[in-house]
Amino acid sequence: MSDNLFNPPPLAVSQLNALARQLLEQNLANLWVSGEISNLTRASSGHYYFSLKDSKAQVRCALFKSHAERLSTPLREGDQVELTGKITLYEARGEFQISVNQLRLAGMGSLFEAYERLKAQLSAEGVFDAERKQALPAHPQTVGIVTSTATAALRDIVTTLKRRMSSLKIIVYPTAVQGKGSEFQIAKAINTANARNEVDVLLVCRGGGSIEDLWAFNEEVVVRAIAACNIPVIAGVGHETDVTLSDFVADVRAPTPTGAAELVSPDVRVLRQRLHSLQAASLLALQRRYQDLSQRIDWYARQLKHPSEQIKAQRLQVSQQQQQICYSFQNYLRGQQQKLLWQQAQLHAASPNIKYLQQHLLQTQKVLQNSWSALQQQQTQRLYKQQALLEALSPQHVLQRGFSVVKNHRGQVVSSANDLRFGQHINIIFHDSEAAAQITLGSAQQDLFD
């Protein structure tokens, strides 16, 4: 038997590639890879395709538009970079590749190591604990903003606050938000706002940029300034996907500076709509309550009856129940009678016709007896014919007519005189006995076996 019968069926190429892709994505996750950009191509869709290589090998990479837009500077051929993403297989062509979701210039790794060390240290100290975070004021009157006066983020924040709640008072604590030494200016602005205590909530904001541009908000001096601030702080740094240590320590993190402004400024139009909705809902609830109580009073009034009317109604109910019981019993009795008649009919139909069966049995026995007699007579006649034929062909009858059979001493039939030799002993078989004889004429040559 062939061993192929016990082998699993072969995989299709698409199945193999899908399996390889699954293995890669499950087992090679959260890895950073460094190398040089080569064969860089930017498609019209905004996606980047390139190879990441070192002196010994290379791997294909794809950086899609949604992630490429977050780069502070465009990619260039020959850049030394560090990247991470989904290590996978492009199934259609069976190509091993990295689908990049983060990319930085080589050398940023040390900054991230410092970032992780500081994050772990502050977390161990309880700086990021939820228990120490303050709740935002429900209706702030004055909002403080720590940011640069030259940024579009400030204009967006002010525009949003005025649009949503024009009565809010705004105080700006200007500071540089990127560059060397900017972290100390940011911390000083936060400390100033905390010391003056003239705002109900403080926004620490900056617009989008590269990780290098946002790095000041990862510095320990800024994080500790936010932690020490007695005013509730909202951090709105960068885009929604950007996360800094300031986001962890702030009482609330906003995805963008505009989002931070929306968190502290209730929309007047929404408040008016809510007020109108509450007024309408209250009026509707009062109307429904009035209608429900009115209907309940009417229902109670209808339920109040004279005792004689109640007794009359109960008597009528008892009479109806008696009629219902009598009707149900009669229906049950009729059903049982019909069931009995049906069963009697079934029993009658199922009883066998014994007389007919006896007649049929006698006829069958007679037919069998006649058939047996005829068969016996036929077989007897056939036997007689076969016996006569055998007797006619019997060798014994031939011998009775004067014929005989000659055999040599080995019992073999001698059919020709040429088979006999002089002096040879033979046996002659007649119909009633045998006789021995010796050949006296013929060739003098002696048979070797005589």
Residues 303-360 have pLDDT tens digits of 776 777 778 888 888 888 888 998 888 888 888 989 888 888 888 777 777 787 788 8
Res 271 pLDDT > 80: no
Residue at token pair 């008597």 = 315
Closest CA to 34 of 55, 9, 15, 5: 55
Record the tokens describing residue 319, joined without a space: 């009479």
Instruction: Give the per-residue pLDDT at 108.
Output: 62
The torsion defined by the Cα of 132, 209, 182 and 225, in degrees rounded to 10, comes to: 0
Looking at residues 27-43, what average pLDDT do you find?
89
The mean-pLDDT minimum among 137-151, 174-188, 285-299, 435-449 falls in 435-449
Q: Distance (Å, rounded) from C-alpha 12 to C-alpha 217? A: 52
pLDDT at residue 7 greater than cutoff 80: no
Question: pLDDT value at position 203?
Answer: 93
Question: pLDDT for 413-423, tens place per residue?
Answer: 787 878 788 87
What's the confidence (pLDDT) of residue 72?
66
**In which band, very low, low, confident or very high, does the pLDDT at 277 lie, cut at 50, 70 and 90?**
confident
Distance, CA of 53 to CA of 230 (rounded, Å): 51
- Residue 142 CB partners (closer than 8 Å, separation 6+): 168, 169, 170, 171, 198, 199, 200
Q: Hey, what are 293's tokens?
A: 């109580």
Quick check: 88 and 78 in contact, CB under 8 A? Answer: no
Average pLDDT, the chain: 84
pTM of the model: 0.44
pLDDT mean over 233-239? 89
- Do 61 and 41 touch, CB atoms closer than 8 A? no
The residue type found at 391 is E
